[in-house]
Structure 1
Amino acid sequence: MNWIDWLVMLATLIGIAAFGIWRTRHIRSSETHMRGNDDLNWTVIGFNIMATQASAITFLSLPGQAYEDGMRFVQFYFGLPLAMIFLSIFVIPYFYKLKIYTAYEYLETRFGLNTRVFTASLFLIQRGFSTGLSFFAPSIVMSELLGWSLNFTILFIGGLILVYTYIGGFKAVSYTQTLQFAVIWLGLFLAAGLVFYQLPPDVHFVDAVNIAGKMGKINLVDFKFDLSSRYNIWSGIIGGAFLAISYFGTDQSQVARYLGGKSLAEGRMGLMLNGLIKVPMQFIILGVGVLVFVFYLFNQAPLHFNSNNVSRLSGSAAEQYKILETQQEKVFEQRRLAVDGMMKAMRKGDDEQAKAAQIEVQTLHATELQLREDARSLIKDHVPDAATKDTDYVFITYVLQYMPIGVIGLLLAMIIAAACSSGASAINALATTTVIDLYQRLYKPAASDQHYLRMSKFFVAVWCLISLAFAFSAQLFDNLIQAVNIIGSIFYGVILGVFLAAFFQPKVKGRAAFLAAILTQIIVIVVYVMSEYKMSLNLFGWVIPVRVAYLWLNLIGCLLVMGIAAVLQGVMPEKEKEEVVG
């Protein structure tokens, strides 16, 4: 990487971090460290919400997802605007009225301590794991860039986030996220513009879209109702809405953003801003991935995008890899000619010739995909510990090989800034929830403010270490953006069900809600495992295949909690005795 790129990247990152540390240099109380001073306006809240969600995974994994699978992932976000409206009307007013630190405090006032501790624990488990994945994503960039081992790079990134969060807490995160979000949008538009600019001169935007469509990449909406399909409009609007309601309404990393607002109105407007901008933002990111796919139809792509894996091959394995590369080069040349023919036929309106060329292109593309699979198998056979799924490396490989000097540095700063932003928000939320919902409530209810400030910083360090441990397991997942959403879907539906029962089922009491949450969490995990491994349920001789896409787990978890709680409440004695955990 050129020294100018280093300068741009370091100046951007150091400048943002220094600004946050400078603005929070006078923090002396636990409240300011964990929650802030309730002084954020709606634009800052909206940008903070989006920056918290837009992790490095978004900018590394999402273009790779589109490169491999097209635009259909955008359906995942179709339910988000509906979720923002629901939260603004029904959820935020409760939180502001109670003046709480965390969302789970409310549950104690409604269902007792057991339920508060259980739901807070579910949040800590899933958010700790997801944060580990967000540590892993920027480590891909740094390891690819510097040639460092991936494990060392994970430790380095985790250390940066630890220092950043330990010093400034909530306020440092809030002050810097607006700057980080500006860098993210600038990098995003530059990436989209430059990918298109680097297509061959005779390939216009309409040509690129038509080619992507012929290759099955512009598959925006699937109206077929299929529980086993991960992405269709029904799972996106229904399952996606329930996931978004749970994430933005019960995940402390997001709840803290709008609870830090000046007023209820500011918090609501911040959420609505997120609902307005988020879907177009994800559309653009996926569009960049599709343009990269089209770019590589005219420019030969690496046989395997993770160059570190390739560099570990030696001897006969390296020779076999070169043979595969030679075969790929021949296929690429044939496919490029076929793509040119298909583009010219489409321009002339010759549907028959365009169809014939399309079949040829798709056949050659399938051949290349098989060569890629052969390369992955070769790497796995000779480097058993290598993670051979390489879609998360597609975008960063393109950036490093084809982007102009200066832009590379800015795009890398964008990715790392997104990691610091989402990582710091998550770690701060994990520490705050641990202190407020577990430590203070169960062990030290009457300690000094300085004691809670010290414990807040202590748990920042603890959760950084736990997230690092999770980060080392991230290579087991095929695609990081899917892994994050799968983990969330397993837990968020149950958490949301507890909150909705608290809001809308006044007859349900604490014991029924607590038992319903435990039973439902077990059921959801069983359903996910059976679906993932294509298992069947045998009921009195009836064999029922279990095939449920992960987005539906949010709806299933939510409805089961509410339904089971209602049934249990109906069979329980009128007078209910709450038990105290701890």
Structure 2
Amino acid sequence: MYRLQTLDWIIIACYLAGLMLLAAYLSRGQFNREDYYVGGRKLTRWPIAISIMATQCSTNSILGAPAFVAFAAGGGLVWLQYELAVPIAMVALMIIFMPLLRDLRLVTVYEYLERRFDLRTRLILSGVFMFVRAFATAVTVYSIAIVIDLITGLGFTWSVILLGLFTVLYDVLGGIKGVIYSDVVQMSILLLMLVFVAYMLADQGGGILQVWQTFPEARRTAVDFTHHGFGDGHSFAFWPMLLGGFFLYVSYYGCDQSQAQRVLSAHSVEEANQALFLNGLLRFPVVALYCFVGVGMGVYAANQADFLSTLPQNNGQANVNLAVPVYMIQQLPVGLVGLALVALFAAAMSSLDSVLNSLSASTMEDFVGRFKKTRWTDTAELFTSRVLTLFWGSVTLTLAFFVDDIAPTVLETINKIGSLINGPVLAVFTLGVLTRWCHSLAAIAGLLCGFLFNIYLWLGHPGISWLWWNLIGFAVAVLVAALVSAVCSPTAEEALSEPDDELLLWSLPRLRQLLSQTAWKFMSFILLGWFLVLLVVLMWLN
């Protein structure tokens, strides 16, 4: 087992100290909960866009994507099909959700549901977010803790504490600004390390072309039009990844507080849309980079016959999620191993910090704050917000001990958890934004039935690709909501109060405002063109 040398520890200590100093500096500009949760609504497009990408480029991706590309059954470059949905999802968000939600000056997206439906709908959706996101975040903690244990020999428990202690502390101090600006730093470190590892793998494999030709042909297939994912044993076919991915990404970026909170922190609707636009353009190259690392890992493992035997065992089999960190331990010199661990820390922290802040925001705004009878002072609000961040940090770190073995790779685990509920959650917001007829009972019934139907598919029909759950859950939720709306009358209070025009996208004032703006049209055309370019590139790889 590798033991960190003094230089490695110095690099790690400098990184962690730098983060704490940044968080302490940013905390000086926080005076109330809006400063803490949405940065005073003064943030601009580039930091927001990089922060969004940093959360996506998490440890789950850095460990799971190369493992999926190189080793997972049914894996390979087909994962890149998933990214085709991102530009289209960004277009939908720029047109349908973000102009409306950002204009309302929300702190949590679930506040919209109370304005549009009622308090019950808001609390249920916020509670669902807390449960699902806390559990998914525990997977992130788990995946990085096993790497820390592997490199340092601290043991899993102390590795969780090491990761959690610094992440929670700088999150408690820095708030959303600390999250976003630290993500910019972390993303830079991570990309530099990924580029270096990709270069090493290409050099050891005889060059990029040689690595590509050596990689198994079946895993080089990037687009699979021949399967459909409905019981044919091929979860990662083109249509489930494109359509299921579209519903997943719209729900995740628009209706999940951990992502939407950063967009709500933007200085204006235009800045919010431009951040989404940048994410739609730049995310694919980042994902392609760590997928190429997977290609290089597959070739390296084939050329070094004993490499897989050096990986830690999980249920009697090599844990391929650890292939990249084990490679770095074996191949990188002293000092760069410390930097590699910093990069993995950065990947984990960029996901963990944003979730903790958003869980705190939802708890404070949707539950704690509204039920206090006396008026909050700004100081009390800020103190309570930080305590709630500390609380959720403790919860997610504890859950990390109970999340193993949900799926073959951590990348699939995260997406599988989200796919159970993403579609139904998106349905509730879509019905709120696009219809007048849907009322609270119908929306909640749709959410519950969509979620339960996805559970049924998971347990009773494992042959159906989990990617389809996002679309199926959405469709079931909408159909049930329509049926309940037709059969059951709204409450007396709902019947007397029609939704305000500001809460509906297709109201006449909103339509006039939307059509008068030209920037979103230009950005939408670029993103749709980018989608076509990426599709052609992936088909060419076949």
Q: Residues 574 and 181 (structure 1 numbering): CA distance in 2 closer, same or farther, change over 3 Å?
A: closer
Name the structure 1 match of 2:219. Answer: 217
Name the structure 1 match of 2:237. Answer: 232
Name which of 468, 472, 486 aligns with 1:570: 486
Name the structure 2 match of 1:408. Answer: 337
Deviation at 1:294?
0.4
Q: Residues 209 and 523 (structure 1 numbering): CA distance in 2 closer, same or farther, change over 3 Å?
A: same
Deviation at 1:576?
4.3
User: After superposition, where does 1:106-185 map in structure 2 within 5 Å?
Assistant: 106-185=112-191
Q: Is the 8 A contact 2:439 2:494 kept in 1?
A: no
Q: Which letter maps to 1:76?
A: Y
String of CA shifts for 1:140-191, please: whole Å, max 9, x gaps: 2210111121122112212222112112221211221111111121112111
String of CA shifts for 1:520-577, please: whole Å, max 9, x gaps: 2222222222234xxxxxxxxxxxxxx3211111111111111111111111236645
Among all aligned residue pairs of Structure 1 and Structure 2, give the percentage whose two residues are the same amino acid.
27
- 3-state DSSP class of the match of 1:101? coil
Name which of 351, 355, 364 aligns with 1:422: 351
Q: Is the 8 A contact 1:76 1:237 kept in 2?
A: yes
Name the structure 1 match of 2:445. Answer: 515
Name which of 41, 46, 50 aligns with 1:43: 46
Distance 1:575 1:135 in 2: 44
User: After superposition, where does 1:183-582 map in structure 2 within 5 Å?
Assistant: 183-199=189-205, 203-214=206-217, 216-224=218-226, 225-228=228-231, 229-307=234-312, 309=313, 379=316, 388=317, 390-444=319-373, 446-477=375-406, 478-532=408-462, 547-573=463-489, 576-577=492-493
Q: Which letter maps to 1:127?
A: R
Distance 1:445 1:2 in 2: 55
Distance 1:461 1:304 in 2: 40
Distance 1:192 1:389 in 2: 22
Q: Residues 187 and 565 (structure 1 numbering): CA distance in 2 closer, same or farther, change over 3 Å?
A: same
- 3-state DSSP class of the match of 1:573? coil
Please, which moves more after superposition, 139-148 or 471-480? 471-480
Deviation at 1:234?
0.6
Q: Is the 8 A contact 2:77 2:220 kept in 1?
A: yes
Name the structure 2 match of 1:352. Answer: none
String of CA shifts for 1:392-421, please: whole Å, max 9, x gaps: 111111010012343322222111012112
Deviation at 1:505?
2.0
Q: Is the 8 A contact 1:64 1:391 kept in 2?
A: yes
Deviation at 1:483?
0.7
The alignment of Structure 1 onto Structure 2 pairs a total of residues equal to 485
Q: Which letter maps to 2:461?
A: S
Q: Is the 8 A contact 1:52 1:253 kept in 2?
A: no
Q: What stretches of structure 2 of length at least 5 have no aligned partner?
A: 496-542
- 3-state DSSP class of the match of 2:127? helix
Deviation at 1:54?
1.9
Name the structure 2 match of 1:538. Answer: none
Distance 2:494 2:216 in 1: 59
Q: Residues 575 and 129 (structure 1 numbering): CA distance in 2 closer, same or farther, change over 3 Å?
A: closer
Name the structure 2 match of 1:351. Answer: none
User: After superposition, where does 1:6-21 map in structure 2 within 5 Å?
Assistant: 6-21=9-24
Q: Residues 149 and 484 (structure 1 numbering): CA distance in 2 closer, same or farther, change over 3 Å?
A: same
Q: Residues 179 and 204 (structure 1 numbering): CA distance in 2 closer, same or farther, change over 3 Å?
A: closer
Q: Is the 8 A contact 2:39 2:177 kept in 1?
A: yes
Distance 2:457 2:345 in 1: 36
The root-mean-square deviation of aligned C-alpha atoms, in Å, is: 2.0
Name the structure 2 match of 1:369. Answer: none
Deviation at 1:389?
5.6
Q: Which letter maps to 1:138?
A: I
Name the structure 1 match of 2:526. Answer: none
Q: Is the 8 A contact 2:23 2:174 kept in 1?
A: yes
Q: Residues 107 and 576 (structure 1 numbering): CA distance in 2 closer, same or farther, change over 3 Å?
A: same
Distance 1:573 1:131 in 2: 39
Q: Is the 8 A contact 2:176 2:262 kept in 1?
A: no
Q: Is the 8 A contact 2:23 2:173 kept in 1?
A: no
Please, which moves more after superposition, 21-30 or 244-253? 21-30
Deviation at 1:512?
1.3
Q: What stretches of structure 1 of length at least 5 have no aligned partner?
A: 310-375, 380-387, 533-546
Please, which moves more after superposition, 177-186 or 441-450? 441-450
Name which of 96, 107, 125 aligns with 1:101: 107
Q: Which letter maps to 1:397?
A: V
Deviation at 1:441?
2.7
Distance 1:458 1:247 in 2: 26
- 3-state DSSP class of the match of 2:215? helix
String of CA shifts for 1:44-82, please: whole Å, max 9, x gaps: 111011112222221122212212132122222221110
Distance 1:111 1:482 in 2: 34
Q: Which letter maps to 2:333?
A: P
Q: Is the 8 A contact 1:211 1:294 kept in 2?
A: yes
Q: Residues 461 and 23 (structure 1 numbering): CA distance in 2 closer, same or farther, change over 3 Å?
A: closer
Distance 1:132 1:92 in 2: 28
TM-score, normalising length from structure 1?
A: 0.80
Rg comparison, structure with higher value: 1
Deviation at 1:578?
5.7
Distance 2:97 2:277 in 1: 13
Deviation at 1:390?
0.3
- 3-state DSSP class of the match of 1:227? coil
TM-score, normalising length from structure 2?
A: 0.85
Q: Residues 97 and 250 (structure 1 numbering): CA distance in 2 closer, same or farther, change over 3 Å?
A: same
Please, which moves more after superposition, 479-488 or 24-33? 24-33
Distance 1:121 1:454 in 2: 22
Deviation at 1:277?
1.1
- 3-state DSSP class of the match of 1:476? coil
Q: Does 1:90 align with 2:19?
A: no
Q: Residues 499 and 19 (structure 1 numbering): CA distance in 2 closer, same or farther, change over 3 Å?
A: same
Distance 1:33 1:301 in 2: 50
